[in-house]
Amino acid sequence: MIGISVLGSTGSIGISTLDVIAQHPERYRAVGLAANTDVEGLFQQCERFQPTVVAMADEASAAELAKRLASIGSSIEVLAGEAGVIAIAELTNAEMVMAAIVGAAGLTPTLAAVRKGKRILLANKESLVVAGDLFMREAKAHKASVLPIDSEHNAVFQCMPQDFEQGLAAKGVKRILLTASGGPFRTWTNDQLKSATPEQACAHPNWSMGRKISVDSATMMNKGLEVIEARWLFDATPEQIKVVVHPQSVVHSMVQYVDGSVLAQLGNPDMRTPIAHAMAWPERHGSGVASLDLFEVARLDFEEPDTQRFPCLRLAFDAVAAAGVAPAVLNAANEVAVDAFLSTQLAFVRIPEIIETVLSQNLEGDLDSVEGLMAIDQAARAAAEQLIH
């Protein structure tokens, strides 16, 4: 029986992870769950999966959950605050940790799991975007395995040669081709984008996702963050990564080789596929996802991304090329701008403007500690807030 801790258990990735666990009760057990403020969601998960211990980042929510569990005679331990979430990440009976907390808040607990040498099922982009160098160094030092959950990076992982860690060029890899759906605004004009609403931005044509990541898909920042992730996951240069718009979201990504071959991973757009792959690797088992029907798909389209209409993608490539603090600054400014857009304080087209202005301020800081990275993160957030308000 393999124990799994799920960080961000009440979010879409967490729910999908628990669904895969439920399909294989003889193989997996959810031993620890962590959420932010969704008391009802975590309470229901406690009733169904009976973890040993759970945590809520919000202390008031943790107190409410503890009270509700006590009222039904449950012996599940409830922890509170960031320390509680870290404890879930470090549980000794959890061989795997699903890192699915959205945003920079997921960095510290994910790093804690890395330092315990666990198998990390990485769905938290920011761990690599904000702290890619530190994160991968710690993973190597503590012999933690990092398996990507993003459908695109999981697809690349499946198409990579064995021992790709020895160097992409040495293994005959020419380029990583990250596919992008293009989001809900793929065909919109610049004039239409000026009046885009949060509801429209969150109506993704292919995927069911949270509001923040849905907006990132609409601006194509999601793909930009994935470029930075790919740089660290596969030790790739920016020149070895190309984005390809693929509206059907059937080809999840590709790897191009020097001999002219292109290997692609295809499947229905359902996050349970990469989750099940990473959980079972190097084996495979069922995910609950139907097999792809190519006759129903009928056609596959591919387009160049338009960085004039979607400048966030260009900004991300600029940030990964600049290295240093730039990716962390990009991420922090984006989170603030997206939050302002979702609360109708900022127009959609101003999101990249805010990010570019904060990047131009040449913030500096310590990249070798979580504290230093969080200081950079906070400085970039403050700069973005000032621009917005």
Task: Provide the residue ranges of all domains of the chain, joining segments of one domain with +.
Answer: 2-148, 156-269+302-307, 324-389
Residue 138 in contact with residue 144, Cβ under 8 Å? yes
Supply the pTM of this predicted model: 0.91
Buried b (16+ CB within 10 A) or exposed e, 334-347: bbbbbbbbbeeebe
Q: Domain 2-148 is of which CATH architecture?
A: 3-Layer(aba) Sandwich (3.40)
Separation between Cα atoms, residue 20 and residue 27, nearest integer Å: 11
End-to-end CA distance of the chain: 52
Query: Residues near 49 by Cβ (< 8 Å), separated by ≥ 6?
Result: 18, 21, 22, 29, 30, 33
What string of pLDDT tens digits covers the 389 residues of the chain? 999 999 999 999 999 999 999 999 999 999 999 999 999 999 999 999 999 999 999 999 999 999 999 999 999 999 999 999 999 999 999 999 999 998 778 999 999 999 999 999 999 888 899 999 999 999 999 999 999 999 999 999 999 998 898 899 999 999 999 999 999 999 999 999 999 999 999 987 776 677 888 999 999 999 999 999 999 999 999 999 999 999 999 999 999 999 999 999 999 989 999 999 999 999 999 999 999 999 999 999 999 999 999 999 999 999 999 999 999 999 999 999 999 999 999 999 999 999 999 999 989 999 999 899 999 999 999 999 999 98
- Tell me the pairing of strands 145-148 and 53-56: unpaired
Q: Domain 324-389 is of which CATH architecture?
A: Orthogonal Bundle (1.10)
